[in-house]
């Protein structure tokens, strides 16, 4: 569900967040309009508003785990975790985490990749959210949800700054709700 349709209709912060995101055409390959959040991170107010919107949503939901997907999920997740008193759990590409891990494979456009989580980081029954900068097909987020559920956690919601059109129709991933702040922009005049 989009924030604007879920309690934040007309909230000026959302427009400013959207405006702060830069579109880079044809990255990483022809035809892809890459949604670059690094420009959002350069705008202190817009970055703070982004975090605050997620914090306001999750602070009273008894969330004890914020799981962030490498690497851009790391830029948003920890600040949210700190503000709501939850732990931050990084979900990483293979061979990055030093301890014992569990792994979950997921499909890419060509081939597959893998997401890992430390054994013992999350306990059975904990309430978790998954955070990433953007959701496209939902493949990575689905793998993240499966990792958390495998250790008995309850994934309350997935949260992304940007949600691509494919995500709009299916508001749920593996039956889990999806909360998105803004839609991607098609073109960016100033790049």
Residues that bind other proteins (CB under 8 A): 22, 24, 27-28, 34, 36, 38, 41-44, 47-48, 51, 70-72, 74-76, 78-79, 81-82, 85-90, 92, 95-99, 118, 121, 191
Quick one: 42 or 105, whose CB is closer to other proteins? 42
Catalytic residue among 100, 109, 165, 186: 109
Catalytic residue among 13, 57, 59, 72: 72
For residue 4, the minimal CB distance to other proteins (Å) is: 23
For residue 1, the minimal CB distance to other proteins (Å) is: 25
In the chain, which ranges are continuous DSSP H helix? Answer: 12-20, 38-41, 44-58, 73-84, 139-150, 165-169
Residue 72 is a catalytic residue: yes
Residue 70 is a catalytic residue: no
Quick one: 89 or 156, whose CB is closer to other proteins? 89
Contacts of 154 by beta carbon, 8 Å cutoff, 6+ apart: 125, 126, 127, 128
Q: At what angle do helices 12-20 and 44-58 cross, to 10 degrees?
A: 130
The rounded distance, in Å, linking the Cα atoms of 129 and 86 is 10
CA proximity to 73, closest of 60, 85, 88: 88
- Annotated catalytic sites, by residue? 72, 109
């Amino acid at each position: 569900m989009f924030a604007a349709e879920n309690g934040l209709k007309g909230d000026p912060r959302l427009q400013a967040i959207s405006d702060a995101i830069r579109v880079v055409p044809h990255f990483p390959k022809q035809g892809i309009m890459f949604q670059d959040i690094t420009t959002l991170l350069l705008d202190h107010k817009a970055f703070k508003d982004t975090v605050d919107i997620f914090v306001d949503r999750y602070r009273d939901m008894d969330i004890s785990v914020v799981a962030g997907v490498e690497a851009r999920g790391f830029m948003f997740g920890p600040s949210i975790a700190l503000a709501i008193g939850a732990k931050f759990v990084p979900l990483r590409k293979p061979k990055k985490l030093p301890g014992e891990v569990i792994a979950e494979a997921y499909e890419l456009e060509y081939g597959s990749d893998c997401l890992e989580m430390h054994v013992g980081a999350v306990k059975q029954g904990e309430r978790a959210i998954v955070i990433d900068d953007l959701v496209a097909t939902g493949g990575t987020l689905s793998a993240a949800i499966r990792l958390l559920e495998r250790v008995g956690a309850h994934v309350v919601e997935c949260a992304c700054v940007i949600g691509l059109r494919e995500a709009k129709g299916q508001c749920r991933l593996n039956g889990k709700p999806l909360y998105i702040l803004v839609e991607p922009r098609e073109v960016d005049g100033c790049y």
